[in-house]
Chain A
Amino acid sequence: MGKWTRRAVLATGGLVGGGLVLGFSGIAFAPNRIGIRPEDEKDAARLTTWLRIAPDDTITVIVPHCEMGQGVHTSLPMMLAEELDADWDNVRVEEAPAELLYANGYLVRAFVPAVADVPKFMERFIDWGTYRLTRMLDLQVTGGSSSVRGTGFLGMRVAGGAARAMLIEAAAQRWQVPASECDAKRSQVVHAGSGRSATFGELAAEAAKLEPPVHPRLKSYKEYSLVGKPVPRLDIPSKVDGSAQYAIDVDVPGMLYATIAAAPVFGARLGAVDAAAVSAQPGIRKVVQLDDAVAVVADSYWRALKAVRSLIPSFTATDNDAQTSETLAATTARALEAGEAEKVFSSDDATAALGGAGKAIEAEYAVPYLAHASMEPMNATARIAADRCEVWVGVQDPLAARKVAAKAAGMNADDVVIHTHPLGGGFGRRLPGAHDFIDQAVRIARAMAPAPVKLIWSREEDIQHDYYRPAVIGRYKGAIDSSGRPSVWISRFNDVAGAAAHVPYAVPNQDIRSVKVASHVRTGSWRSVEFSQHGFFTESFIDELAHAAGKDPFEFRRDLLEHAPRHRAVLEKAAWIAGWGAEPAPGRARGIALVESFGTIVAEVAEVELVDDRIKVHNVWAAVDCGYVVNPDTALAQIEGGIVFGLSAALFSEITVRNGRVTQSNFNDYPLPKLADAPRVKVEFIHSDAALGGLGEPGVPPIAPAVANAVFALTGKRLRSLPLRVGDSEAAKTA
C-alpha cells in the first residue's frame, strides 16, 4: 500500500462571462494523504470538470453519476459544497454528459489500496498481481454503492476544498491582505480585520487565473456544517407532480414508437416472420427483424404492441429448449459433487477437523433466479440522422451505452450523443453488459432513419428477458466443539462470490469454494450482487450452528466477533433497539442477521408472525455502520427501501424456467411486496471512524436470513430456500 503515490490534476479555466470552472483529471493516491499536482503529463488530457461558479453566485456541481433514487444528485453536491463553504441555496446540480472526461476509472485507483473493497464491475480492469490497471478505463458507472465513498470522498471534497482556497487567495490579492486573515462562509470571502467581503461569484473570474493548491485543506468531520444534516433531495419536487422526465417520457419531434418480441429461449435466433399480416394494419410503419427478435414500429405504442402480439414469429431450436428449473438445478447439484472447486478462502484443514469434531451439521440452501423488475420498463429513444446517432436513455453507465449504440449504429463513439435521464429504477439492470435494449433501439432507428424511434418493452418482455440474479445452491458443513463454539465451516456453491462468501465470525477451520456452472439463462448484477445470496446462506447456517450449540442466536454471534469490534457493535445495537431477549407479542418471534457489504456493516432483526400460513413481517430493526452519513434522511431511506427490496426476494419473487424459457411474465405471477406487506422499520446509524461505506445496497442482504431465522424461532422449521414458504399450499406460493 505504501507504494502508492496519490496524484491528481486540478485544472482551472475561465467561464464564458467570467467565472471559475474547476476540475481535475484522474486521481492516484498516497495512503492517507490527498494531494494535487498542478499537472500530470499522462493524465492532463482528461480534464474532469466538477464545478462551475458563475458571476451571479450560482454554483453548479457536475455529478458523473445517474440519479435512480439513491439521492446522489444531492449528496455529492453536499460534499463539495461543504468543503467550498458554499451557500447551499445557490447550489445546482447537473448530470455529466457521456464523455470520457467523466469516466470514473480513477476510482479504481482509489479503491485498489483496499483490495477487498473494489466494486465488482471494476474488478476486471485490475491486474491483481501488480495492482495496476490493465487498460484505459472508460467506465462512467453508478453501481457498487460507490458514488459517495468514491467520487464524493475522493473527488468532490477535493474540488470543493481547492476552489475555496483559490477564492480566498483571489480575495486576499484583491484586498492586499494575507490569505490567512480571510475566511469563507456561505459563498462569501470575508476579511474580518477590515470588514470587507466579496461573493464567490464576484471573485470567480480572478480565482480562475490562479494555480490550484497542491494540497487543499480538507475539513475534519467535526467541522462539517452541511454534511451530516438532513438536506431535502433536489430531485424530489419533480417527482411529486409528474414533471420529472424519465427516458420513457421523452418527446422527440416526429417520433415513432416500437415494441419488441425477443427469442423466448436465450440463444435462439429469429426464424420466419409473417410481416404481411400486420403491415397493412393502420399506423404500422415497419416490421423490423433483428438477429434474435422482431420489432414493430408504429405511430403509437398501442398499435405497435397489438401488432407484435399478433405476429407469431418462429425462433430456431436450441439445445436448451427442454431446460427447466429442475434440470438446471440438477446440473448445478452434479457440478457441486464433481466439479472443480475454486478456493475462495481456507484456513487450516477443515475436512480433517470435521472428522474429529464434536457435533457436525450439514445444510443445503437454494435461491432462485430473480428479475430486477424496475418500475420503469426498459426503453430507449434513438435517432440516426445527419451522420449522428442520438440516444435518450436512463442507464447506470452512459459511456458504456454510447459504445453499445455506436456499435449498433455502425458509427464511431464520437458520433453518438447520449442524453441521460433519471432512472425509474436501476438495481443493476441498467449496468453495462445489460444494455440490450439500447442495441435494439438503435438498430430499429437505423431501419427507420432519419425518424426517431422510442422503443418501449412490455412488462412481459422485461420479466422474460432480464439479466437475472443468478440461481445459487450452497452446501454447508459445520461443527461445534466441546466449548460450544463452531470449529469448522465448509461451503460449496455455484457461481462466483468473492468476499460475499467470507464468514465474519471466528471459525478456525474454514474451506470455502465455488464451482462454475454454465447456464443458458442470462445473469447479471442484482442489487447487492452476491451478498443477496450469500447473506442468506451464511446467516442461515450460523443460525443453525447456534441452534446446534444450544445457544441464543444473538449471543452466539456476538461471542464470535471479539476480533471484529465494528461488527460486534452493529450486532449489539440492532439487538438493543429490537429489545432482543424481551418476549415478543404472542404468536411472534424474532430472527437476527449481520452482513457486511460494500464497506458497510448492517444487522437486522425481523419480527414475524404466521397469518394463514403466510409469513407476515411486522417489524424490522436495523443498525448500520457506514463510517459517517452524508445525508442522514436519504441514508435512512436507502436502508428502508433496501429492506422492502430484500423482502421481495425473501417472501415473494421467483423466476422459474420451463421449456427453456422464463415462466413468469408480469406482476400477476412475479409478485412484489405491497404497502400492506411493509414492516415498520427502525434504523440506527453508528458513527464510526471507519472509511465511508456504500448505502445503496447494504440494506438488502440481511433481511432474508433475518426473516428465515425468525420463522425458525417461531415454528422450529428451518426454511432453506427462497422465497420463504411455510406449508406447501398453492396459496402460500402465489399469494
Chain B
Amino acid sequence: MEIILTVNGESRVVDVDADTPLLWVLRESLRLTGTKFGCGIAACGACTVHINGTAARSCSIPAAAVQGQAITTIEALGHSGQRHALQEAWIEHQVPQCGYCQSGMLMAAASLLAKTPRPTDQDIDTEITNLCRCGTYERIRRAIHAAALKLSSGDVEANDSAQPAQVRHG
C-alpha cells in the first residue's frame, strides 16, 4: 500500500506492505541507513528514532501507523549542518567503539534531554535502556551530562538544536 511519511521534515511517499516496520522503510525504501537493525523485537534500541520528538523503537512500529507524524532519524539529529550537542559530546568523550548501537543511543539521549534538560544518573539509567556489548558504559552518562550542561548554559545554537524534533522538522 502507498503510505505518506514525514521524515526529517520532508514528505515521503513509499509503497510497502501495511505491516512493514518503520525501520525497514527508513533503511530500504528511503536509504536512511543510520538507523540500525539489532533485534527486531524492540529490545536493543539500535533502531531508535524520534516520533514527534520522543524516542521510539522503529523495528516494532508499522510505518503505516505513523503517517502524519514527525519522524526524525539520526541523519537529522543535527541542525543545518551543525552537530547536535550530544553528537559533539559523543566525539569529545570518544563514546563509540564499534559504533553500531550509537545512533540509537544518541536518539534515546536526545529524547531524554528534550524532556529532562538536566538529568541525573538515575534518570539516564532509567531512560536509556539500549543494549550494547561494550558501549553501555560510563562514557554515555558523562557525554549526556556534558551535553546537558552545554545546552543549559545559554549557548544559543545548542539551545536551538535541543528543541524537540517536531518543532525543527514539523
Determine which residue in A257, A303, A375, A423 has the highest number of CB atoms from chain B within 10 A of its CB, and name it. Answer: A375
B38 and A240 within 8 A (CB) = no
Residues of B within 8 A of A351 (CB): none
B156 interface contact, C-beta 8 A: no
- Tell me the nearest residue of chain B to A375, going by C-beta: B100
B136 and A678 within 8 A (CB) = yes
B138 and A424 within 8 A (CB) = no
Give the docked Cα–Cα distance between A241 and B126 (Å): 24
> From residue 98 to 142 of chain B, which have CB atoms closer than 8 A to chain A?
98-103, 106, 124-126, 128-141
Residues of A within 8 A of B95 (CB): 236, 240
Residues of A within 8 A of B139 (CB): 637, 640
A675 and B130 within 8 A (CB) = yes
B43 interface contact, C-beta 8 A: yes
Residues of B within 8 A of A305 (CB): 40
A270 CB to closest chain B CB (Å) equals 23
Once A459-B41, A675-B141 are accepted as A-B contacts, the answer to whether A301 and B100 lie under 8 Å apart by CB is: no
> From residue 439 to 471 of chain A, which have CB atoms closer than 8 A to chain B?
456, 458-459
- Tell me the nearest residue of chain A to B144, going by C-beta: A675
B99 and A236 within 8 A (CB) = yes
**Chain A 213-257 interface 0/1 with B at a Cβ cutoff of 8 Å (1 = within):** 000000000000000000011011111111111101101000001
Residues of B within 8 A of A423 (CB): 98
A633 and B94 within 8 A (CB) = yes
- Tell me the nearest residue of chain B to A257, going by C-beta: B28
B94 and A232 within 8 A (CB) = yes
Residues of A within 8 A of B44 (CB): 375, 667
A305 CB to closest chain B CB (Å) equals 8
- Tell me the nearest residue of chain A to B74, going by C-beta: A242
Residues of B within 8 A of A242 (CB): 32-35, 73-75, 103
Give the docked Cα–Cα distance between A668 and B37 (Å): 16
Give the docked Cα–Cα distance between A248 and B96 (Å): 18
Give the docked Cα–Cα distance between A335 and B131 (Å): 38
Tally B residues with Cβ within 8 Å of A: 59
A673 interface contact, C-beta 8 A: yes
B38 and A375 within 8 A (CB) = yes
Partner of B36, one of A236, A240, A422, A424: A424
Partner of A677, one of B19, B36, B136, B140: B136
A16 CB to closest chain B CB (Å) equals 33
A644 and B136 within 8 A (CB) = yes
Partner of B133, one of A257, A648, A668: A648
Once A236-B94, A242-B35, A676-B125 are accepted as A-B contacts, the answer to whether A69 and B28 lie under 8 Å apart by CB is: no
B58 CB to closest chain A CB (Å) equals 12
B170 interface contact, C-beta 8 A: no
**Chain A 657-670 interface 0/1 with B at a Cβ cutoff of 8 Å (1 = within):** 00000000011100
Partner of A681, one of B20, B135, B137: B137
Give the docked Cα–Cα distance between A153 and B161 (Å): 44
Give the docked Cα–Cα distance between A242 and B141 (Å): 20
A645 and B133 within 8 A (CB) = yes
A241 and B94 within 8 A (CB) = no
Partner of B140, one of A422, A648, A675: A675
B137 and A69 within 8 A (CB) = no
A515 CB to closest chain B CB (Å) equals 31
Give the docked Cα–Cα distance between A239 and B103 (Å): 8
B133 and A672 within 8 A (CB) = yes
Give the docked Cα–Cα distance between A70 and B35 (Å): 22
A484 interface contact, C-beta 8 A: no
B13 interface contact, C-beta 8 A: no
A680 interface contact, C-beta 8 A: yes
B26 CB to closest chain A CB (Å) equals 10
A128 interface contact, C-beta 8 A: no
Give the docked Cα–Cα distance between A458 and B59 (Å): 12
A641 interface contact, C-beta 8 A: yes
Partner of B75, one of A70, A241, A282, A643: A241
**Chain A 406-425 interface 0/1 with B at a Cβ cutoff of 8 Å (1 = within):** 00000000000000001111
A249 and B39 within 8 A (CB) = no
Give the docked Cα–Cα distance between A680 and B102 (Å): 20
Residues of A within 8 A of B98 (CB): 68-69, 374-376, 422-426
A634 interface contact, C-beta 8 A: yes
A576 interface contact, C-beta 8 A: no
Give the docked Cα–Cα distance between A673 and B134 (Å): 9
Residues of A within 8 A of B7 (CB): none
- Tell me the nearest residue of chain B to A456, going by C-beta: B37
Determine which residue in B34, B101, B132, B133 has the highest number of CB atoms from chain A within 10 A of its CB, and name it. Answer: B133
Residues of B within 8 A of A459 (CB): 38-41
A334 interface contact, C-beta 8 A: no
- Tell me the nearest residue of chain B to A71, going by C-beta: B97
- Tell me the nearest residue of chain B to A377, going by C-beta: B37
B93 CB to closest chain A CB (Å) equals 9
**Chain B 71-105 interface 0/1 with A at a Cβ cutoff of 8 Å (1 = within):** 00111011000010001001100111111111100
Give the docked Cα–Cα distance between A242 and B106 (Å): 10
- Tell me the nearest residue of chain B to A459, going by C-beta: B39
A300 interface contact, C-beta 8 A: yes
Partner of B96, one of A236, A243, A301: A236
B138 and A672 within 8 A (CB) = no
A302 interface contact, C-beta 8 A: yes
Partner of A302, one of B21, B39, B43, B102: B21
Residues of A within 8 A of B27 (CB): 249
A135 interface contact, C-beta 8 A: no
Give the docked Cα–Cα distance between A426 and B33 (Å): 20
Once A68-B98, A248-B37, A303-B17 are accepted as A-B contacts, the answer to whether A240 and B90 lie under 8 Å apart by CB is: yes
- Tell me the nearest residue of chain A to B43, going by C-beta: A667
A703 CB to closest chain B CB (Å) equals 12
A235 and B99 within 8 A (CB) = yes
A553 interface contact, C-beta 8 A: no
Give the docked Cα–Cα distance between A240 and B101 (Å): 10
> From residue 678 to 702 of chain A, which have CB atoms closer than 8 A to chain B?
678, 680-681
Give the docked Cα–Cα distance between A302 and B73 (Å): 20
A414 CB to closest chain B CB (Å) equals 31
Give the docked Cα–Cα distance between A340 and B49 (Å): 56
Partner of B129, one of A456, A644, A666, A675: A675
A489 interface contact, C-beta 8 A: no
A124 interface contact, C-beta 8 A: no
A139 interface contact, C-beta 8 A: no
B46 interface contact, C-beta 8 A: yes
Give the docked Cα–Cα distance between A640 and B133 (Å): 11
A668 and B43 within 8 A (CB) = yes
A368 interface contact, C-beta 8 A: no
A42 interface contact, C-beta 8 A: no
A644 and B37 within 8 A (CB) = no
- Tell me the nearest residue of chain A to B32, going by C-beta: A242
Partner of B131, one of A243, A424, A674: A674
Residues of A within 8 A of B138 (CB): 640, 678, 680-681
B75 CB to closest chain A CB (Å) equals 5
A241 and B87 within 8 A (CB) = yes
A373 interface contact, C-beta 8 A: yes
Give the docked Cα–Cα distance between A302 and B29 (Å): 11
A69 CB to closest chain B CB (Å) equals 3
A427 interface contact, C-beta 8 A: yes
17 pairs, A vs B, C-beta closer than 8 Å: A69-B134, A236-B91, A240-B96, A282-B17, A302-B16, A302-B24, A303-B17, A374-B98, A375-B101, A640-B134, A641-B133, A667-B131, A668-B43, A672-B132, A676-B126, A678-B140, A680-B138
5 tightest Cβ-Cβ pairs between the two chains A and B: A242-B34, A641-B134, A239-B99, A424-B100, A69-B97
The residues of B with any CB-CB pair to A shorter than 8 Å are 16-17, 19-21, 24, 27-28, 31-41, 43-44, 46, 73-75, 77-78, 83, 87, 90-91, 94-103, 106, 124-126, 128-141
Q: A243-B34, A637-B139 are in contact. List 12 more A-B contacts (CB 8 A).
A: A240-B83, A240-B87, A241-B83, A242-B74, A302-B16, A302-B24, A459-B39, A640-B134, A641-B133, A644-B132, A668-B43, A674-B130
The residues of A with any CB-CB pair to B shorter than 8 Å are 68-70, 232-233, 235-246, 248-249, 251, 257, 282-283, 300-303, 305-306, 372-377, 422-427, 456, 458-459, 633-634, 637, 640-645, 648, 666-668, 672-678, 680-681
